[in-house]
Amino acid sequence: MATDTRQGMEEAVVVLQKASTGRSKCRATGEPLQQGDWRVGWMGLAWLKPLEFLRSCWVEVCANPGRRSQGACKASKQPFQRGDVRLVTTAGEPTMRVYLSLPAAAEKLQPVLQLVGPDAFSPTDVAGLEDLPAADRAAFFEAFGVANSEAAEFEKEHPPPQAQPVVGRKRPALSAARSSAAAARRDVKPRKAVKRTRRSR
């Protein structure tokens, strides 16, 4: 099974190898990794059990409002554009994130998926997939080589969500409430000024 070498571990996103000792632990669960156990090295910073590593990944749409940069693919170095779909890998901690394009993610995760097996974890089990619109789902299925039958079953169980509202657009209910309040303020007549006279002592 193809793995990255130890010399390139710090540069690699995913390193799949057998534990040479029993001193390491899974970052996600804290359970010890016995000598000879398969483990996934993440960015040279942490070790995880293969299944736990896959469970820590999710897919999302780049939509960071107000930011020019949407990050870049760790493998290809290509910057993401708003609306692109990317896979997020972590070391079991959401704050430690690395982004991959779908083609790069399929390539890096393929050895781990093969090791774990489809009965334990399939590409359609990746978190966030059910939240993607139909076109982005199709791109994911193609990149990961998901069979048409499996894709159809997933679509049946998880219908694509409706289109998301445009970022920055006011919610209709909130807009109507503000309009009513503004109209009410306009209808209030200003009070007449009362002229006060000074008392004579």
Q: What is the pLDDT of residues 16-34, one digit of tens each?
A: 999 999 999 999 899 999 9
The whole-model pTM stands at 0.73
The tally of domains found in the chain comes to 1
DSSP state of 75: T
- Whether residue 2 is contained in a domain is answered as no
CA distance 33 to 52: 12
**Exposed e or buried b for every residue in 31-55, given b needs 16+ CB within 10 A?**
eebeeebbbbbbbeebbbbbbbbbb
Average pLDDT over residues 174-188: 44
CA distances from 61 to 82, 124, 158, 160, 165 (A): 8, 16, 17, 14, 14
Q: Is the pLDDT of residue 161 over 60?
A: yes
Compute the radius of gyration of the chain from its Cα atoms. 27
Question: pLDDT averaged over the chain?
Answer: 80
Residue 42 included in any domain: yes
Comparing 173 with 73, the larger pLDDT belongs to: 73
pLDDT band at 44 (very low <50, low <70, confident <90, very high): confident
- Higher pLDDT among residues 179 and 91, named by residue: 91
Its domain, for residue 69, covers 14-157
Residues 40/15, Cβ–Cβ less than 8 Å? yes
Query: Checking DSSP bridges between strand 14-18 and strand 58-61, what pairing results, if any?
Result: unpaired
- What's 28's domain CATH number? 3.30.1740.10
Nearest CA to 89 among 69, 67, 74? 74
pLDDT at 144 over 60: yes
Q: Give a yes or no: residue 164 inside a domain.
A: no
pLDDT value of residue 192? 53
pLDDT band at 156 (very low <50, low <70, confident <90, very high): very high
